[in-house]
């Protein structure tokens, strides 16, 4: 059976999913209530940076497999599989997730489902949400329809979203308790992901709550691993040890492994911080908050890295930023992205400015977003312009462009040769040999 897909929500997740599903050969209609966003996507203009995605978007617009709309009526009539890909941001002033967009999407779509279809949630939601949404669909869907809900969490890494969509390391299908509905949902999802399953991608079928927990549990584990090595960096600094060598030695242990064991400034972005906080909030609602108490310390370790970075930079400048110029390399929360949500780099830059420093920031892709979030910072169009006359240079996002920098080339531009490596991305000896004072988090 050839399925026609709609993707509701065309932000980072939705735009990626829509374009990649079209590239697999499906007819896809992307829907969003934001008319400006839809107009940009329909013109082949990707509203964010993601390597390789714009080419896929343009290709499938040109071949007619991908279209965009703002009409729920059009989407309901077009597709027999509807993916919910809207955002679930952190509530203002709370840890809990804001489910407004998910609930609005379901409430808008369900009354229009006049035929047999599958609604597939991909958004990251607190456990228990799918069951509640399934009940709402059953309540709102017309009598002549036959809509079933499945939950199919996403596991995208920014900078690798195309690869993670087309060649995922696993597919999780959360299906209803009713056996007939469960079999139908599983069958349709297997048909949609047939090309990936043929290549050996694991397919895990679970109930609603388990499928919802998979994503947040994975993010909680990842955040814990990152914060663990950064906690070790704190100990290493106190003991005059080298956390990069410690991490290397740990990585050879098969039980631990080296992935995401890189010490540095910590994590940020629109997923990890808010997801672990929402996980803690939901655990509290379920009466098992003690089970996730450790995540509070994971979060606090992560924030302490930013404070420590500011302290280290200030120490390099004799104890004060006042009257001093700081060149900041990096604004995105990670390389290969223009996402500045909860960016450690911008947090550090803004803190230094608030403490009296003159701060100039450069990032290969995130300049526009950074300017909107922190308009009071100064921004440059190149590395050299960012570090010109600087008394200290801070590497805060590990773009390859920064890792490849020639310390001799930068030396003539700065006022003083001080560099603080917030990502442990540079070769200390190379920079010291070129006359720089090199400092990094967790290293002597």
Indicate which residues carry an active-site annotation: 271
- The gap from C-alpha 93 to its chain's centroid, in whole angstroms, comes to 21
In contact, 197 and 190? CB cutoff 8 Å: yes
269 sits in the region (left: phi over 0; alpha: psi -120 to 50; else beta) called: left
User: Quick one: how many helices (H) and strands (E) in the chain?
Assistant: 19, 14
Q: Supply angle C-alpha 127, 341, 350, rounded to 5.
A: 140
Kindly give, in sequence order, each residue whose CB lies less than 8 Å from that of residue 235, ignoring residues fewer than 6 positions away: 241
Q: How many CB atoms lie within 10 A of CB 404?
A: 8
Burial grade of 73 (CB within 10 A; 0-12, 13-18, 19 or more)? exposed
Q: How many CB atoms lie within 10 A of CB 24?
A: 17
Q: How many CB atoms lie within 10 A of CB 290?
A: 9
Separation CA 138–CA 144 (nearest Å) = 12
Separation CA 28–CA 22 (nearest Å) = 6
Separation CA 392–CA 195 (nearest Å) = 51
Which residue, among 87, 51, 34, has the nearest Cα to 338 in the 3D structure? 51
Separation CA 304–CA 300 (nearest Å) = 6
What would the two tokens of residue 390 be?
């600087």
Burial grade of 34 (CB within 10 A; 0-12, 13-18, 19 or more)? middle
In contact, 129 and 151? CB cutoff 8 Å: no
Kindly give, in sequence order, each residue whose CB lies less than 8 Å from that of residue 244, ignoring residues fewer than 6 positions away: 263, 424, 440, 442, 443
Per-residue exposure over 86-100, b if at least 16 CB sit within 10 Å of its own CB, e if not: bbbebbeeebbbbbe
What is the Cα gyration radius of the chain? Answer: 24
């Amino acid at each position: 059976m050839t399925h026609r897909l709609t993707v509701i929500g065309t932000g980072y997740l939705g735009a990626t999913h829509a374009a990649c599903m079209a590239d697999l050969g499906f007819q896809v209609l992307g829907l969003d209530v934001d008319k400006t966003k839809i107009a940009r996507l329909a013109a082949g203009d990707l509203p964010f940076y993601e390597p390789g995605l714009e080419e896929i978007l343009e290709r499938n617009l040109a071949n007619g497999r991908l279209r965009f709309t703002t009409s729920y009526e059009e989407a309901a009539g077009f597709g027999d599989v509807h993916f919910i890909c809207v955002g679930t941001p952190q509530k203002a002033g709370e840890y809990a997730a804001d489910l407004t967009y998910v609930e609005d999407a379901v409430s808008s779509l369900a009354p229009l489902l006049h035929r047999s279809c599958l609604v597939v949630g991909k958004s990251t939601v607190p456990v228990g949400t799918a069951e509640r949404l399934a009940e709402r669909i059953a309540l709102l869907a017309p009598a002549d329809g036959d809509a079933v809900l499945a939950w199919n969490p996403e596991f995208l890494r920014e900078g690798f979203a195309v690869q993670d969509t087309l060649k995922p390391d696993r597919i999780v299908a959360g299906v209803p308790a009713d056996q007939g509905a469960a079999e139908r949902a599983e069958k349709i999802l297997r048909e949609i992901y047939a090309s990936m399953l043929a290549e050996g991608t694991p397919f895990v079928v679970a109930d609603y709550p388990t499928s919802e927990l998979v994503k947040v549990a994975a993010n909680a584990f990842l955040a814990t691993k990152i914060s663990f090595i950064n906690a070790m960096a704190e100990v290493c600094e106190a003991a005059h040890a080298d956390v990069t060598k410690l991490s290397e030695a740990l990585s050879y242990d098969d039980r631990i492994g080296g992935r995401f064991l890189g010490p540095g400034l910590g994590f940020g972005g629109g997923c990890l911080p808010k997801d672990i906080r929402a996980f803690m909030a939901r655990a509290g609602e379920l009466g098992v908050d003690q089970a996730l108490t450790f995540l509070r310390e994971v979060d606090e370790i992560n924030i302490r890295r930013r404070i420590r970075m500011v302290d280290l930079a200030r120490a390099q400048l004799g104890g004060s930023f006042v009257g001093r110029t700081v060149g900041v390399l990096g604004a995105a929360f990670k390389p290969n992205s223009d996402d500045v949500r909860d960016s450690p780099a911008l947090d550090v830059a803004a803190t230094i400015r608030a403490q009296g420093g003159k701060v100039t920031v450069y990032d290969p892709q995130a300049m526009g977003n950074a300017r909107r979030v922190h308009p009071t910072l100064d921004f440059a169009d190149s590395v050299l312009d960012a570090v010109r006359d600087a008394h200290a240079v801070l590497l805060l996002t590990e773009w390859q462009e920064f890792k490849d920098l020639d310390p001799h080339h930068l030396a003539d531009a700065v006022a003083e040769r001080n560099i603080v490596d917030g990502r442990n991305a540079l070769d200390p000896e190379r920079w010291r040999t070129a006359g720089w004072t090199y400092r990094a988090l967790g290293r002597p």
